[in-house]
Structure 1
Amino acid sequence: MGTIVTYLAEEQRTFAESPFNPVDSLVFATLAYLNYEQAPCMPAAGAGRVLLHDVIMLSDWDDLTACSWMEDAKDTRAFLHVLAASRRMRDVSVAYYANEHSEAVEKQFSAVTLFFPDGAGETGYLAFRGTDGSFAGWKEDFNLCFKEVIPSQCTALAYASGVASATEGPLILGGHSKGGNLAEYATLTVDEGTFARIVGVYNHDGPSFLEDPSPRIESTRFCDLLHKTVPESSAFGMILERRRDYRVVVSSALSVFQHEPFSWQVEGDDFVYQEALNPSAVFFDEALDAWLRGKSPAERERFIDTIYELFASTEASSWAEFQEKLFANTRRLLGQGTKLDAETRSFIWQTLGSLGGILKNETIRRFKPAPPTWLPRRRARYDSEKGNDL
């Protein structure tokens, strides 16, 4: 078994020689995290294309991977090395890079289109970026718990429509984390002409929806297009997920660290799968789902907004900045918490308490010993001796 890094090192066939596969999709979804504005060869928006190879070779890798999980991942440099040397990726070109960030409307959106030649001509992969390290990016993710539509979803629809109008040929939409949710949303809401050109939708450990964005979600064609993959201990990708048409990928990491794409196990040109999620992931998913159902959208919004405001009060704009002065920021966060009015403090503790209660009940339900199998037979014998009718 290997990873997407070993896959790129070993798979030297072109897309014309070996068709696009789910592992390619995770590679392309990971490429959405690169800061293409840092590449000196990158053309202005809409001005043309540049080879992915040139982006990798002509850029400073620290700048290219800054402000995302790739910045600290131990396999990032190996990933970039094999990308630059890959025969399979040598003709992949990059265009239509978009990067938008707004604290005011709690929006973090980025996407890029990767074109690759294949046996039928050329296909465009619209790669949507997942959450970055900013508080605004994480806040927008949490907003999915009470908003039917978030700003990045609207922008994803506009982006997909724009790329479709500027290109011809088949399209694939995909992303990792929130990017997978954006890929699904855009596919479900584009016009019929664009939808007809889509040949695949890949959601790699991204959340689902509070409400179905379109009746198209129940259509046979959309179900055939969708490839949702989650790691064995997935937490984030199972948020709001009501469907069962996902596949579970084996990961080399533990717990929440399985969210990192470099940990997903690969064999040949596909992932290594297992039949179901690990028990711990099912436990967390059911507990979180019960908590969400037990709170109104207004209560969820109030809770999330209050927690976000507490973190924002530390004057850090990202998790990285928060951790740089962890002790001081934690003290400030706790200090600001004491300044909340009594009603808000009570609401926060009650909300956290309800989540804790659900986790406790779920733990008891799962780990309570089953009654001994001899009890029913013993009771039956007792009733028989007493002449009781059962």
Structure 2
Amino acid sequence: MGNIVSYIQENQRTFAESPFNPVDSLVFSTLCYFNYEASGLVDPSSPERVLLHDVVALADWRVLTCASWLEDAKDTRAFLHAVMASRRLRDVALAFYANERSSAVEKQFSATTFLVPGAAGADGPLACLAFRGTDGSFAGWKEDFNLCFKDVIPSQRAAAAYLSGVASAVEGPLATTGHSKGGNLAEFAALAADERAFARLAGVYNHDGPSFLDDPSPRMRDARFAALLNKTVPESSAFGMILERRADYRVVRSSALSVFQHEPFSWQVEGCDFVYQEALNPSAVFFDEALDTWLRGKTPRERERFVDTIYELFASTEAGTWAEFQENLFANTRRMLGSGTKLDAETRSFIWQTLGSLGGILKDETVKRFKPAPPTWLPRRREAYDRKGRKQ
């Protein structure tokens, strides 16, 4: 078994020879994290198409991956080498790159359209609209937290407008995809699309992205949308199960533990598909049920106050990114949840109980996964020792 890096390395067939599949959608969901404007080859204000291969071959990789989870991921360089050498991705072009951020309205939005030749047969290239997930900053995550109390966030409106714009600019089939918040945006854009654009959709891919506080469209219950939607979450998913009430997601095996399974490079691939298991791990089930019950037991105003408080507590640790926060995870957590914080007693009690119970489950899961099997010679040695002991 491998991951999306080994998948790119081993699957050298073109899209005309091997159809577009869910693993491809995760590849494009990962590629949309690149800072394409920093490459000097992509102009966000221009609809001009640029070959993905040329961007990866000519750009400074440190600049290209800066300020995203790719910056620190151990497989990033292997991923870039694989993309650059891929026959399958050789003729893929990108266009309509958008990158918008506004602290005033708590918005972080970015999307890239990948034009995939051969993926749609004689109808022309497939336009795969990939929506970027959250970057590594706390400011970027604030908009994600707002999903817990807002029916629509600014990035969702931008995603719907982006799909409408691309649909009017290109012909042929469309697909939307995204990882993390990008998966939520991929779903929302499809749900909000006008009927002509919706009829052109060949797939909607949500990779470990949260669901919705309330159904954003009656299309959520439409059999046509259900047939298009492909939602995947890792076995210990926390983020992708937030607000999820449906059961039509698939669980992917991961090589990582706990929240680190959110990273796409940890998702296991075999052949041209993911490696699936039947259900979530106990830790994910516990976290999902606890958080969902708590969220739905609060009014929108209470959830907003809680989210704002948690965000301020994260900011109070002086860490600017999740990577910096995790470098001193336990010290920062104590600082956030200590008696000197402004959390009310009920909220503090809930957080401590949740973290304590989740920690116990994660510990059991870790022991179970890494406990070595007993040596085959152990029973024989024990019997010899017992017999020897009895004779003495």
TM-score bracket for the superposition, by shorter chain length:
0.7 to 0.9
Task: State the TM-score, normalized to the length of structure 2.
Answer: 0.85
Trace 1:147-226 onto structure 2 (pairs within 5 A). Answer: 147-226=150-229
- Give the C-alpha shift of residue 331 in structure 1: 10
**Is 2:273 aligned against 1:275?**
no
Q: What is the one-letter code of the residue matched to 2:209?
A: G
* Distance in 2 (alpha carbons) for counterparts of 1:132 and 1:363: 26
Q: Give the corresponding residue for 2:53.
A: 53
Pairing 1:302–2:298 present? no
How far apart are 1:47 and its partner, in Å?
A: 3.5
Q: Which residue of 2 aligns with 1:370?
A: none
Q: What is the rounded CA distance, in whole Å, between the counterparts of 2:177 and 2:238 in structure 1?
A: 19
Instruction: Name the larger-Rg structure.
Output: 1
2:35 and 2:199 mapped to 1: Cα distance? 31
Letter in 2 for 1:257: F
After superposition, the C-alpha distances for 1:274-315 in whole angstroms (9 at most, x for unaligned) are 111111111111111111122211111101112223444566
SS of aligned partner of 1:238:
coil
Distance 1:332 1:244, change over 3 A: closer
- Distance in 2 of aligned mates of 1:65 and 1:104: 25
Residues 100, 110 of structure 1: 8 Å contact kept: yes
Q: Distance in 1 between matches of 2:322 and 2:358?
A: 31
Q: Structure 1 residue 261 and structure 2 residue 264: aligned?
A: yes
- Correspondence 1:350 to 2:346: yes
CA distance in 2, matches of 1:129, 1:154: 14
Give unpaired runs (5+ residues) of structure 1.
365-390
Once the two structures are TM-superposed, the CA of residue 165 in structure 1 deviates from its matched residue by 1.1
CA change 1:149–1:56 in 2 (3 A) is same
User: Within 2, Cα distance between the matches of 1:228 and 1:19?
Assistant: 19
CA RMSD of aligned residues (A): 2.6
Match of 2:12 in 1: 12
Which residue does 2:111 correspond to in 1? 111
Q: Which stretch shifts more, 87-96 or 114-123? A: 114-123
Q: Give 1:376-387 correspondences, 5 Å limit.
A: none
How many residues align? The count is 358
Which residue in 2 is equivalent to 1:139? 142
Which moves more between the two structures, 112-121 or 216-225?
112-121
Residues 314-325 of structure 1 mapped to structure 2, 5 A cutoff: 317-320=320-323
Q: Is the 8 A contact 1:35 1:64 kept in 2?
A: yes
Contact kept? 1:291, 1:355, Cα under 8 Å: no
Work out whether residues 180 and 203 of structure 1, in 8 Å CA contact, stay in contact via their aligned partners in 2: yes
Give yes or no for the alignment of 1:243 onto 2:239: no
Q: Identical aligned pairs, as a percentage? A: 72
Change (3 A) 1:323 1:286: closer
Q: What aligned pairs does 1:360-371 form with structure 2 within 5 A after superposition?
A: none
Q: Using the alignment, how far apart are the partners of 1:360 and 1:77 within structure 2? A: 37
CA-to-partner distance for each residue in 1:151-190, whole Å, 9 max, x for gaps? 1101111111111111111000000000000000000011
Unaligned runs of 5+ in 2: 361-392
Whether the 8 Å contact between 2:156 and 2:189 is mirrored in structure 1 is yes
Offset of residue 361 of structure 1 = 8.6
Distance 1:239 1:17 in 2: 37
Query: Distance between the aligned counterparts of 2:311 and 2:253, measured in 1?
Result: 33
Provide closer, same or farther for how the CA distance between residues 215 and 296 of structure 1 changes in structure 2, counting only shifts above 3 A: same
TM-score (norm 1): 0.86
